[in-house]
Amino acid sequence: MSTTARVLIGVGQEHRGDDAVGLLVAREVAAAGAAGQAGLSVIEHDGDGMDLMLVWEGAEQVVVVDAVVSGERAPGRFERFEAHATPLPTKPFAAHSSHAFGVAEAIELARAMDRLPGSLVVYGVEAACFDTGSRPGPAVREAVATVARQVLRELRLEEAPDA
């Protein structure tokens, strides 16, 4: 259960290739010194949707980063979803999950139970390889810093660059 105003949840499996992207983004944000700043909790999560609601319970603002397979983008490309406002597309978030009940299903159950945080943004990073024992591919590794900066802006912990 969260006792902070903001929560970043990096979802993934360490040794399943590109699936580790959420964990890597969470680590990058924590390494930037953001954990604890402005009430931010940075959490690494294995993607089991059954306890995801417990992780964000009590938080005002939640950002989730997970690997997706849309088949529409190149690996490393990412998309931002305002999950508090509209349902996530389930196919991209379910294609690689080792859990029958993943991120998209957890969010929809929380919506049905009126247990969504006020702000729930999900970043889906396009992935290609989920082989057990493999490391994230180069395109996904390169995306980590970009997504981490975007998350820091989302959480208002880093100023956006001047336009």
| Residue 97: C-alpha distances to residues 47, 63, 104, 110, 131 (Å) | 8, 19, 11, 19, 12
Beta bridge partners of 125: 67, 78
Using a 10 angstrom Cβ sphere, with 0-12 exposed, 13-18 middle and 19 or more buried, the burial of residue 36 is exposed
Q: Distance (Å, rounded) from C-alpha 115 to C-alpha 58? A: 9
Under DSSP, the state recorded for 75 is: T
Joined tokens for residue 15: 């040794």
What's the pLDDT score for residue 162? 41
Q: Which residue has the higher pLDDT, 26 or 33?
A: 26
Return the amino acid letter for 43.
Answer: I
**Which phi and psi (to 5°) does residue 55 adopt?**
-65, -40
pTM: 0.89
pLDDT per position as a tens digit, 94-144: 555 555 578 888 899 999 999 999 999 999 999 999 999 999 999 999 999
Strand 119-126 versus strand 78-82 pairing type:
antiparallel
Q: Which domains does the chain have, with CATH numbers?
A: 6-154 (3.40.50.1450)
CB distance 32 to 66 below 8 Å: no
Joined tokens for residue 82: 């305002």
Computed over every residue of the chain, the mean pLDDT equals: 87
pLDDT per position as a tens digit, 34-77: 766 777 899 999 988 778 888 999 999 999 999 999 888 899 99
